[in-house]
């Protein structure tokens, strides 16, 4: 085991897969010579060569389109979209092509492409460097959608996704790259070295998809979340002295419905939290599933915490961000009700 931040863990995953499988290639803007604007691919081009770690033009549609063609020709591309906010020029290639090639060709062709992309706010990135668009992609049939919340999971999940024969959109909450963040920007930054999930196996290992992680077992209330909100929710529950069960979904598609429902059946109370905007957000799907599967076990209406339904505002980041106060309001409501 070694202490790693999330960037180092992702780098290790790609390093291992480049070593293990000659069909793996890395591609994206600034990923090669420079090693990526967040340094996730640092040193990989020097180690594996320019044919395996490929700098690309600034054209996300071209990156995804060519990655699809490469994958059809036997490669396993890991394409970086520099910010999730920049993924939209590649949207048609992702939605109409990547997601459906296996289906429309009745399994004769398939496209094992992993798209890595940093997402989420809390970094003073304004409306073009802070978005959480996962719900746009969970709505597309044929895509797997993953979002790790710590270095250990990030590495194991990324290896799983690269080896997966289906296309995956792999969201990386960039506020967590250097340490867990509980939503309070006033506190000093906490490094991953002080967190157990910052201890990462240096070798090959996988973390399965469709398996949520119970970050903290508890009896009072179930908090279903993922990404940065895992730490915000935990801090909010602790501040209220609630014995909360905190579920980190990790994989949004496919979804671990069993873990969600067993927990809600046990606690009878449920809060769903994500950074992404609320209206038609992924949380609505979770709410619907819990309502359908656990209605008679619920002691109170399910509460939802999310970003406001506005573009991500530069000057009002902390009024916008669903921090501990917003989670606490939801927790109080779900605990006080009935």
Partner 1 sequence: MNRKSRLHLPRAPARPGDVPDFSYVQLSPAGAVARPDVNARARDIVSLSLDLVRVLDDSGGAVGPWHPHLDPADLQVGLRHMLLTRLFDDRMQRNQRAGKISFYIRSLGEEAVSVAQCMALRPGDMLFPSYRNQGLQIARGIPLVDLMSQCLSNTRDMCKGRQLPVMYHSKSGNIFSISGNLATQFPQAVGWAMAAAIKGEDHLAASWIGEGSSAEADFHHALLFASVYQAPVILNVVNNQWAISTFQGYAGGEQRSFAARGPGYGIAGIRVDGNDFLAVYAVTQWAAERARTGAGPTLIELVTYRAAAHSTSDDPARYRAKNDQEHWPLGDPILRLKQHLISLGEWSEARHQAMAAELEALVQASWKEAVSFGTMTEGPRLDADLMFEDVFKDMPEHLQKQRASMRAERSRSGGK
The strand pair at 199-200 and 2-3 is best described as antiparallel
Quick check: 78 binds partner 1 (CB under 8 A)?
A: no
The least distance separating partner 1 from the CB of residue 75, rounded to whole angstroms, comes to 5
Quick check: 250 binds partner 1 (CB under 8 A)?
A: no
C-alpha pair distances (Å), 80 with each of 133, 168, 216, 237: 15, 12, 32, 35
Nearest one of 338, 288, 281 to 305, comparing CA atoms = 281
Contact 200, 4 (CB under 8 A): yes
The least distance separating partner 1 from the CB of residue 46, rounded to whole angstroms, comes to 18
Stretch that binds partner 1, among 87-95, 150-158, 169-177, 238-246 (CB under 8 A): 87-95
202-241 mask for partner 1 (x: CB under 8 A)? --------x-------------------------------
149-168 mask for partner 1 (x: CB under 8 A)? ---------------xxx--
Nearest one of 209, 210, 237, 240 to 223, comparing CA atoms = 237
- What does the block give as tokens for 325? 């106060």
Q: Is 139 a catalytic residue?
A: no
Q: Where are the beta strands (DSSP E) in 6-142?
A: 24-28, 53-55, 76-80, 114-119
Helix 257-267 / helix 282-294 crossing angle, nearest 10 deg: 60
Quick check: 65 binds partner 1 (CB under 8 A)?
A: yes
Quick check: 69 binds partner 1 (CB under 8 A)?
A: yes
| Cβ neighbour number for residue 24 with a 10 Å cutoff | 22
Stretch that binds partner 1, among 98-106, 232-240, 260-268, 310-318 (CB under 8 A): 98-106
From the candidates 129, 139, 195, 314, give the one annotated as an active-site residue.
129
**Which residues are identified as catalytic?**
129
Site residues for partner 1 per CB under 8 A = 25, 51-52, 56-57, 59, 61-62, 65-75, 89, 92-93, 96-97, 101-110, 141-142, 144, 164-166, 210, 253-255, 257
């Amino acid at each position: 085991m070694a202490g790693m931040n999330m960037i180092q863990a992702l780098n290790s995953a790609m390093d291992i897969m480049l070593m293990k499988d000659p069909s793996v290639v890395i591609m994206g803007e600034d990923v090669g010579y420079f090693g990526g604007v967040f340094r996730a691919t640092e040193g990989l081009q020097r180690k594996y060569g320019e044919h395996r770690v490929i700098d690309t033009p600034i054209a996300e549609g071209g990156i995804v389109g060519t990655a699809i063609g490469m994958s059809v020709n036997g490669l396993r591309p890991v394409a970086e979209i520099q910010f999730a906010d920049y993924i939209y020029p590649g949207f048609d290639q992702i939605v109409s092509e990547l997601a459906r090639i296996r289906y429309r060709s009745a399994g004769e062709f398939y496209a094992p492409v992993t798209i890595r992309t940093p997402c989420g706010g809390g970094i003073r990135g304004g409306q073009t460097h802070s978005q959480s668009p996962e719900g746009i992609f969970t709505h597309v049939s044929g895509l797997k959608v993953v979002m790790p919340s710590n270095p250990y999971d990030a590495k194991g999940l990324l290896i799983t996704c690269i080896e997966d024969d289906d296309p995956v959109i792999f969201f990386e909450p960039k506020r967590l790259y250097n340490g867990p963040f509980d939503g309070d920007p006033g506190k000093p930054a906490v490094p991953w070295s002080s967190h157990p999930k910052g201890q990462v196996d240096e070798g090959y290992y996988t973390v399965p998809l469709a398996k949520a992680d119970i970050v903290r077992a508890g009896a009072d209330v179930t908090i279903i979340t993922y990404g940065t909100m895992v730490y915000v929710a935990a801090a909010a529950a602790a501040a209220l002295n609630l014995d909360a069960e905190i579920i980190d979904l990790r994989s949004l598609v496919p979804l671990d419905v069993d873990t969600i429902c067993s927990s809600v059946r046990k606690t009878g109370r449920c809060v769903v939290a994500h950074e992404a905007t609320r209206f038609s957000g992924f949380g609505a799907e979770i709410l619907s599933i819990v309502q359908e599967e656990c209605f008679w076990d619920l002691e109170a209406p399910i509460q939802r915490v999310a970003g406001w339904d506005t573009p991500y505002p530069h000057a009002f980041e902390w009024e916008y961000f669903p921090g501990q106060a917003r989670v606490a309001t939801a927790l109080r409501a779900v605990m006080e009700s009935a």
